[in-house]
Structure 1
Amino acid sequence: MRFKDIAGQAVLCNHLTESVDAGRIAHAVLLHGPTSSGSLALALAYTQYIYCSDRQHMDPTTDAHGLRADSCGVCAHCRKIEQLTHSDVHLLFPNTSIESNKGVKSSADQRNEFRSFLLQHHAFGSLDEWYAFLGVANQQGIVRESDADDIVRTLTLKSYEGSYKTIIIWMAERMNSTAANKLLKTLEEPADKTLLLMVAENTATILPTILSRTQQIEVPRVTSQTEWPEEFAPLFVNWMRMLFKLNMAQLSHQVDGLASMGREMQKHFLAYTSEMVRQCLLHTMAGTANGLHTGDERFDSAFPSMITIRNAEQIYRALNDAAYAIERNAAPKITFMQLSFTLSKLIKNR
């Protein structure tokens, strides 16, 4: 699975690849959001990028998918992960007994079925579709204590191919309490070069002690540009104008407004800002139609020239760093104030 195969998540994909390139690989990550938005696909693409021996880097402003980097898709690691046969990448998932196999004790007993299911659905299948694939109607699968034992055992072994050992748990909210408590011990004392990726739709039933020990990343619903909240456009316009004036009293008031939004809305607004930057650069460098439609004609006409090939990559990096800081529960007012100073400098020195 490559990032280019996941539609509508360029901002999150760029954040993930940038964190890997910067050496910021958390040992435990929780990707939570609707399966239809590609949470499992992102986990697989992220894993493939980490293992890839020939990572590809490109200009996100001209790339057809808006990506800054992706795995090559052709090296030995990529081919094995795409076929779900890599010896250092292990999948755990809700498992249950079926008519043809009533002795299911762990994910290992249904590994082949799950691999076929993922390949058939391109990693976008839902839990109900998984049960339908197995042919079970009323039975509910769980991630069992034996699955947690497999995690502990696997992570204590050396990697077969000299890289990370990776465990991907799909539908982590389906872990029973015994499995969750065993997993907690692994999170508290992670082995070197291990990666635990949990994928969930609902975090409410996951132990708070597990949540506190993971880097939580929300996978947003895939939306089109016309579905951005209406308040984002005037907020973006006012903020950009403040970056030119740098009147501290006015900027502080602006930042207070940004900081008062909920964290998910803050990340959503940063994603909107990234998209506006991309539209500006496409207009100024590639000659595309002006993609800004903020309702302020003067701003829409003048601002795109502020984004050039010389400052765009740094602006993307600053926005991604701010989103990462917010995910890690950094103080939002400090984060947005630092981001404002950085963006002001970059835009003025275009």
Structure 2
Amino acid sequence: MNTTRIDVSFRFLLNLNNINPQTYFFIFVDMKWENIIGQQKLKNLLLSSIEDNRVGHAQLFVGEEGYGTLAMALAFSQEILSRENATAAQKVEHLNHLDLHFSFPIFTEKNISLSKRYFTEWREMILKNPYSSFDDWTNYLDSEKKQFFISAQEAEDMHAKFALKSFEGGSKILIIWRADKMNEEAANKILKFLEEPPKKTYIILCAEKIDNILPTILSRCQIVEVPRIEDTDIKTYLSSKFPDADVSQIEAAVGQARGNLNDAQKILDTGSSSNEFETLFIQWVRNAFMAKKKPEVLRAIIRWSHEISTWNRDKQIRFLEFCTETFRLALLQNYASPNLVYRKLDSNGFGWDAFSTYISGANIEAILDELTDASYHISRNANAKVVLTDMGIKLTRHIHKKAV
């Protein structure tokens, strides 16, 4: 590959991170508007805000990563910078524009918690898939059990970078990926940044939910809701990317992904989105059924809860969401709506039809309440072993409650 095509700023960034240009020149993320899957209404809205000069200095893109929050933020940034400099588009596609900065969750290592230490790895992941999730990121670093967050140290580093003049004389943009992972000290420092932003500065926060973001930060941002991607758009995309997949496989993946492109691709890539979750769900339900006649099985539920408690908090919450959706599907199956059941558990000889008969209006509310409460307490740093054990044992009572 002829590396003379690489512009000067790209060489500078590669040299700074000890990256071989010949290795990475071919990798780029094409974040032109037309290449974002679906979301046409939102794309038009954002383009209009730029056309009409109505772009606030602080934006908060809210939605799951698989809906395209980061992809949308990158396209938005590319549009702003390209209108100032015609060469900006390609630099943004390579994630090497010197006036486009990124901040993202990382773990503390040797008392340092700065995302720039792992920018090369994060960049690699996003270039391959801008719809990557937070779990993908922790897996990418093989650090699922470590606590990832955005620190006050990171916020101070951003302040220092934005105190400098723009490299290209135009706007400077900061994208904070998973801003809902900021700790309180970092959030307060970012708040000050939002209150007194340098000139020609845009700050784009990406978050899955607003629950863990300070109300004072929310009040200073234009909130952009990124909705789930329409099923038809995901289906069209998957059909082109996976030409050998059966229509039934694609439709099952679309139904299970529920508007999340990242999940849909994983389902088709692996054949199942959550084999581990399915195995543990079945184990839990079987123990719950046996506990009525064999109280000693409760020890198995305790071991089950201890296994899940070794995961990081985000994975635990995802598992609880999987359980919630599975119980909902079982209820639909029981109430003669099998056409709405896009996923049936059948591994290890599990009898889905027989199990579904136990999920009814008599117990579904109590079961879902337990799952919701467990998710809430875990998100608030409660002891996962205690929470999951309590929830696991309570299912043994709810599962046997018969419909009137």
* TM-score under structure 2 length normalisation: 0.48
The aligned runs of 1:1-350 (5 Å cut-off) are: 1-53=31-83, 75-96=86-107, 104-121=112-129, 123-224=130-231
* Residue 332 of structure 1: aligned partner: none
How far off its partner does 1:186 sit?
A: 1.1
Percent identity between the two aligned chains = 39
1:108-155 deviation digits (Å, cap 9, x = unpaired): 11111111110121x100000011110112112111111100221122
Any conservation in 2 of the 1:95–1:104 contact (CA below 8 Å)? no
SS at structure 2 position matched to 1:204: coil
> 1: CA distance between counterparts of 2:224 and 2:162?
23
> 2: CA distance between counterparts of 1:219 and 1:155?
27
1:41-72 deviation digits (Å, cap 9, x = unpaired): 000000000011499xxxxxxxxxxxxxxxxx
Tell me which of the two structures has the higher relative contact order, counting C-alpha pairs closer than 8 angstroms and 6 or more residues apart: 1
Cα 1:206–1:76, aligned 2, differ >3 Å: closer, same or farther? same
Read off the aligned partner of 1:11 and give its amino acid letter. Answer: K
Read off the aligned partner of 2:79 and give its amino acid letter. Answer: Y
- Stretches of structure 1 that go unaligned for 5 or more consecutive residues are 56-74, 227-350
Any conservation in 1 of the 2:84–2:170 contact (CA below 8 Å)? no
Cα 1:223–1:179, aligned 2, differ >3 Å: closer, same or farther? same
> 1: CA distance between counterparts of 2:33 and 2:141?
28
Higher-Rg member (1/2)? 2
* Residue 262 of structure 1: aligned partner: none
SS at structure 2 position matched to 1:138: coil
Any conservation in 2 of the 1:30–1:198 contact (CA below 8 Å)? yes
> 1: CA distance between counterparts of 2:112 and 2:152?
13
Read off the aligned partner of 2:201 and give its amino acid letter. Answer: T
* Residue 366 of structure 2: aligned partner: none
How far off its partner does 1:223 sit?
A: 1.8
- Stretches of structure 2 that go unaligned for 5 or more consecutive residues are 1-30, 234-404
> 2: CA distance between counterparts of 1:175 and 1:148?
9
1:179-219 deviation digits (Å, cap 9, x = unpaired): 10011111111221000000000110100000000000100
Any conservation in 1 of the 2:58–2:203 contact (CA below 8 Å)? yes
> 2: CA distance between counterparts of 1:29 and 1:162?
22
* TM-score under structure 1 length normalisation: 0.56
Runs of 4+ in 1 over 2 A off after TM superposition: 101-105
Read off the aligned partner of 2:124 and give its amino acid letter. Answer: S
> 1: CA distance between counterparts of 2:183 and 2:81?
30
Cα 1:177–1:103, aligned 2, differ >3 Å: closer, same or farther? closer
* Residue 302 of structure 2: aligned partner: none
Read off the aligned partner of 1:95 and give its amino acid letter. Answer: I
Read off the aligned partner of 2:69 and give its amino acid letter. Answer: S
> 1: CA distance between counterparts of 2:221 and 2:113?
27
> 2: CA distance between counterparts of 1:54 and 1:24?
16
Read off the aligned partner of 1:126 and give its amino acid letter. Answer: S
Aligned-pair RMSD on alpha carbons?
2.0
